[in-house]
Homo-oligomer: A and B are copies of this chain.
């Protein structure tokens, strides 16, 4: 499993992804699931959930690793809009899944994967998409300003209750930490470290990226304090009156 979440802020995007992959409970590894491409005209960040062979193949194709190193230049950065970026990622994902699923030997697991892709192409606004294994996609909008893939349920209630696209970036990052902490505490297949990235509108840079490891002091504080804050919130509500 995996947990990735992206927030559509009023003037930018925030991405967070865990790094745990597993093939059974006794075979876990750490792999990066957040990838970024940028130049002076575009910023694109992509997060993956699902079959690791599929998602690595998608990333390799998008990075044009079939070409000699000197000739590689991700064509994805030259597309004229984020809609076309999402279309290209969706097509690549569908092709990879199709190549493995059809005609070859059957596997117990499926080859499916989901992708969140967001960013900004010069001339357009920052946009955020979720791409299904079939290659089609949906976009985050004002009504649903965040997207999740992987193990989405444990970390969702706090997002539904507390996320506001107008909130400060600091508060939004704190919200993601709480959402991830709730997930990590409940699902062994989601684990530290986390990769995070903030992209602010019209910067057309690589964004501010950092990794949150198990010894990250702020995350440890959140992890320890959130349970207490939650219990305090719970105790602040009045008890019901029970008849005997």
B222 A237 Cβ-Cβ under 8 A: yes
B227 A161 Cβ-Cβ under 8 A: yes
A174 B221 Cβ-Cβ under 8 A: no
A234 B173 Cβ-Cβ under 8 A: no
Q: Which residues A138-152 have CB closer than 8 A to chain B?
A: none
Q: Which residues A185-244 have CB closer than 8 A to chain B?
A: 185-186, 198, 208, 218, 221-222, 225-227, 229-244
B153 A231 Cβ-Cβ under 8 A: no
Interface membership of A53, Cβ < 8 A: no
Q: Mark A93-137, 1 if CB is under 8 A from B, else 0.
A: 000000000000000000000000000000000000000000000
Q: Once the chains are docked, how many angstroms separate the CA of A157 from the CA of B226? A: 11
Q: Once the chains are docked, how many angstroms separate the CA of A241 from the CA of B234? A: 28
Question: Do A186 and B238 contact each other (CB < 8 Å), given the known contacts A161-B230, A162-B231, A231-B161?
Answer: no
B160 A186 Cβ-Cβ under 8 A: yes
Q: Within the oligomer, what is the number of copies of this chain?
A: 2
Interface membership of A169, Cβ < 8 A: yes
Q: Which residue of B lies closest to A236 (CB)?
A: B229
A234 B174 Cβ-Cβ under 8 A: yes
Q: Which residue of B lies closest to A225 (CB)?
A: B237
A174 B208 Cβ-Cβ under 8 A: no
B157 A208 Cβ-Cβ under 8 A: no
Leading 5 A-B pairs by shortest Cβ distance? A170-B239, A153-B153, A229-B233, A233-B233, A157-B182
* Given A160-B185, A174-B239, A221-B238, 7 additional A-B pairs, CB 8 A: A153-B186, A157-B186, A158-B230, A158-B234, A162-B230, A198-B242, A226-B233
* Residue ranges of A at the interface with B (Cβ–Cβ < 8 Å): 153-154, 156-158, 160-162, 168-171, 173-175, 177-178, 182, 185-186, 198, 208, 218, 221-222, 225-227, 229-244
25 contacts between A and B (CB under 8 A): A154-B154, A154-B156, A154-B157, A157-B182, A158-B230, A158-B234, A162-B234, A168-B239, A170-B242, A173-B239, A173-B240, A173-B242, A174-B234, A174-B239, A178-B237, A208-B242, A208-B244, A218-B240, A221-B237, A221-B238, A222-B237, A229-B233, A229-B236, A229-B237, A232-B233
